[in-house]
Amino acid sequence: MENQWNGKNALVTGAGNKIGRAAARMLASLGARVAVTAPVVEEAREVVAEIRGAGGEAIALPADPTDIDQIRRMVRSATETFGSIDLLINNAEGCFHADGTGRAFPESEPAQWAPLLESLLRGIIATIRYVLPQMIERRTGRIVNLVSVAGVAGLQGAPVRSAVESGIIGLTRSLAMDYGAYNICVNSIASGAIRMKSDPESTIGGSVFGRSGTPEEVANLVCFLCSAEAGYITGQNYIIDGGCILGPKEE
C-alpha cells in the first residue's frame, strides 16, 4: 500500500516551540518533507537535525513573523526546494503567555500590542497569503492554524492575545468557506496547558485528567487533519485542553 505522505511537503512555522517541533517531527516520521521555520533560526536547525537524525528530510529557514518580505522569501525558498507546499502548519500557540505589556490593559499603549498583532495575526495572514496561490493552482492543500484556548474562552490578563487568537479562528473559518471548492481544507486547533516530558508536571487550567497535555497529543491531531482521511473536514476549531474549558471540577 502506497504511503500517502510520500511526496507531500509541509511548511511548519514556529517550529522551535514545543508543539511546532512535535508536529514537524511527526510529519517527517510519516514520510513528508518538512520546511522548518522559527524566529531564531538556530532553533529551526535543531529540529532539522533531529528529523535528519531519524532518517527524515527537512530544511531550516529563517522566519521573522513581523517581516513580510522575509515571510515571502521563506515561502519561495520552501517551494523552490521541495517543488510545492502541500501542508501548512501555522504555529501561533505558545508564542506569548500574556499580552507582553507588563501593564494592566487600561494602562497599556498601542505600540505595546504590536508584537502580538504583527507576529501572530499579521504573520499568519501573510504566510497563508503567499502559500495559498499554489494550493489553488493544484486544487489541493491542508492548512492547520495552531492557537490556544485563549482564542475560544479568553485569557485573564491577556485581552489582546485573546482577541488575536479569536481572529485566527475567524480567519480559519472564512478561508475554509472561500477555498473549499479547490479541495483546500482549513482548520484550527486550540490547545490548553501543554508540557514537555522534561518539564515539571502541571495541572494548570483544571484538566479533568489531572495532568497537562503533551506536544505529541496535539501533533497527532495536526497529522490527522493533514491526512487524506480528513478530506471532508474544514472550517473547524478543535480544542485539546483535557476538558479545562468545561469549567472547574468538583472536589
| pLDDT tens for the chain, residues 1 to 251 | 578 999 999 999 999 889 999 999 999 999 999 999 998 889 999 999 999 999 999 999 988 888 999 999 999 999 999 999 999 999 975 444 445 556 788 888 888 888 788 878 999 999 999 999 999 999 999 999 999 999 998 888 888 889 999 999 999 999 999 999 999 999 999 999 888 656 666 545 578 888 889 999 999 999 999 999 999 999 999 999 999 888 766 65
Q: Exposed, middle or buried, 154 (CB in 10 Å: 0-12/13-18/19+)?
A: middle
- Domain count within the chain: 1
For residues 88 and 12, give the distance between their C-alpha atoms in angstroms, rounded to a whole number.
6
What integer pLDDT is reported at residue 94 of this predicted model? 40
Cα separation values, 140 from 65, 91, 117, 151, 186, Å = 25, 21, 29, 27, 11
How many angstroms separate the first and last alpha carbons of the chain? 50
Residue 234, domain member (yes or no) = yes
> Three-state SS for 8?
coil
CATH number of 122's domain: 3.40.50.720
pLDDT score recorded for residue 191: 94
Grid coordinates standing for 222?
495536526
* R_g of the chain, CA atoms, integer Å: 17
Residue 16: what are its φ and ψ, rounded to 5°? -75, -20
* Burial letters 55-66, b for 16+ CB under 10 A, else e: ebebbbbbbbbb
Helical segments of the chain, H only? 18-30, 41-53, 68-82, 110-116, 123-138, 150-153, 159-179, 215-226
pTM confidence score: 0.93
- For residue 177, being part of any structural domain is answered with yes
The CA distance from 195 to 164, in Å, is 23
In a domain, 2, yes or no: no
Rounded to the nearest 10 degrees, the angle between the axes of helix 215-226 and helix 18-30 is 50
The residue segments making up the domain with residue 57 are 9-246
Q: What is the structure's pLDDT at 95?
A: 46
Q: Which three cell numbers stand for residue 87?
A: 501542508
Name the 3-class secondary structure at 84.
coil
CA distances from 132 to 19, 139, 177, 242 (A): 23, 10, 14, 32
Task: Name every residue whose Cβ is closer than 8 Å to that of residue 43 and which is 6 or more positions away in sequence.
Answer: 15, 16
